[in-house]
A and B are shown apart, each in its own frame.
Chain A
Amino acid sequence: MLKSLPDSKKVDLWIRASGKALLWGMSLVGIFFLYLPIVILVIYSFNESKINAVWRGFTLQWYQSLFEGLTVGSDISNVLIWDALKNSLIVGFISTGVATILGTMIGLAMERFHFRGRTVIEGLLFLPIIIPDITMGIALLVFFSLVFQLLESLTGMRLVLGLPTVIIGHIAFNISYVAVVVRSRIADLDPTLEEAALDLGANEWKSFWRITLPLIYPGILSGALLAFTLSLDDFVITFFTAGVGATTLPVFVYGMIKVSVTPAINAISTIMLFASLIIVVLSFSLQRH
């Protein structure tokens, strides 16, 4: 059969076969690459060997060391892992809450109104997503230290960096991400539904609560989940705005890595990995419904 084909067709068939093989091969390599370090990390969090990657047997002692209250830092400013976790959750919940409300509001304004200066606001919303984290981090550091300096010279009140400054920074970048997610949901929404509600005598407030909100609710929820993840994930902006008393989990882990590589880091990383796994599956099933 193949023999009867002209040569150019044979070449085409060969191209198709090798193309297909290449596609499968590269895709498998891609997935393998994405998971290799993560899987190794999880496996070695159960390894007894403290020094190297030789497998010495299964152990839970590194997880145990976390529960016994691991600390990082110098003697003066020792931070407990539980405090770091608590700080992360406080920052995550508060910044997500505020950013979700503000982000949804501005998302509604951008999608439902036409006004002058829209492009300016558009650029403003875009900025936190595109500027390098470190630029935003140092800008906030510089800003807070100047404001605190002014406050002290004017009122004598001494303020320092801490959880509130971290939360302010997290809200600032999360607003934009929530707005992006919520806006895509509002854009899909049929505006005649709201108009119908208004024609039937509902005021804007009522039409928002009864029509708009129930329809864009999944968008708001996935925006909030993204914000929460980004907040828990953030290291750079937190690093510059945290000061001494506001170590979050990523900053804690960074401190551990900088001191020395121990299997306890593998254990804490594995736990963080599974926590984000749960959030992903949650948001994925949310989107599909």
Chain B
Amino acid sequence: MQLFKSKSKVFNQLEFRKTLNLFTLLFPATFWLILFLIIPLIIVLVYSFLERGTYGGVEWIFTLEHYLRLVKPIYWVVFFRSLWLALLTTFACLIVGYPLAFFIATRSPRWRNVLLLLVIIPFWTNFLVRIYAWIIVLRQEGVVNVLFQSLNIIDQPLDLLFTSFAVSIGLVYGYLPFMILPLYATIERFDFSFIEAAQDLGANDLRTLLRVVLPLTTRGMLAGSLLVFIPAVGEFITPDILGGAKTLMMGNLVQNQFLSARNWPFGSVLSMVMMAIVLAPILISFRLAEDRQT
């Protein structure tokens, strides 16, 4: 009995130490994220219901006017443009990225590393610099126009920059590595004996691709699509640099409300909407993944 008691005391002590360790490990990061992310987001939510201050900031009077402003068609145009451009970008990245990821995953280990490095380098290169590079390519005095003019294909320089074409190219370029890397990870882990099995059973390459390879790599496609779609919807640099007034995206609206129009509450409303659009596909795909597991 005596022994048992002291044992449980030791046990309690151990439990206490364990809890203390866990708390010490968890606390700093959790504290930081709550103070500098969750609370700021809550303030944005609160601000979205307040009246605007004269020089930015807010007046502490409750109002729904900023949410009501959302029904105006001009904002819908921008929302749909953002969604459309993000979906287009995701799809284009999938089309360009899948063959490349498949190609890399099916090379010999040495070539695989070289090619992987080639994809990772742009991924780690400054986003702003990579988007800026397209100005050099697309502007009126840029590479494409100078080349085409010297080849006498065109007389007048084409207006390529500041168009939705330029923004689309920039978005696809900016987020392509985000698609390739998860796709590669999935295809690399793919069991290629499935292909042999399909072919032994008489399927040709096309049928094998459509019935075996693609269905078994949907995980990578889904992960890559999320990684492209999410930041693309909230983009603000690419349309800001490569686009013009006709290619405004949601991110530009938010920036405009905070820095130029100085309407913080309406900017808050817009960024809440943006967050909802981003979180929706994530929550849906998580639910789907859960359903598949059970």
Chain A residues with CB under 8 Å of chain B are: 11-12, 15-16, 19, 22-24, 26-27, 29-31, 33-38, 40-41, 44, 51-54, 101-103, 105-106, 108-109, 113, 115, 121, 124-125, 127-128, 130-136, 138-143, 145-146, 149, 168-169, 171-172, 175-176, 179, 204, 229, 232-233, 235-236, 240, 250, 253-254, 257, 261, 265-266, 269, 272-273, 276-277, 279-281, 284, 288
Contacts and interface: CB of A to CB of B under 8 A. Distances in A.
A13 B230 CA distance: 41
A9 to B, nearest CB: 9
A178 to B, nearest CB: 9
Contacts of A279: 124
Contacts, number: 249
A43 B44 CA distance: 45
Contacts of B63: none
Interface string B24-58: 11101110111011111101100100000000110
Given A132-B231, A236-B236, A38 B204 contact: no
A11 B204 contact: yes
A254 B135 CA distance: 13
B234 A26 contact: no
A175 B141 CA distance: 43
Nearest to B271: A135
Contacts of A138: 44, 254, 258, 267-268, 271
B181 interface: no
Contacts of A179: 29
Contacts of B274: 132, 134-135
A30 B100 contact: yes
Interface in B1-31: 17-18, 21-22, 24-26, 28-30
Given A30-B97, A138-B258, A133 B231 contact: yes
B248 interface: no
B33 A15 contact: no
Q: DSSP class of B's interface residues: helix, strand, loop or mixed?
A: helix
Contacts of B113: 288
25 contacts: A31-B115, A37-B173, A53-B136, A102-B32, A105-B25, A113-B25, A115-B22, A121-B30, A127-B37, A132-B274, A133-B231, A134-B254, A138-B254, A138-B267, A143-B43, A172-B32, A172-B33, A172-B37, A269-B129, A269-B133, A276-B121, A276-B125, A279-B124, A280-B117, A281-B117
Given A138-B268, A179-B29, 8 more contacts: A130-B230, A130-B278, A133-B236, A134-B255, A135-B41, A139-B40, A168-B36, A272-B125
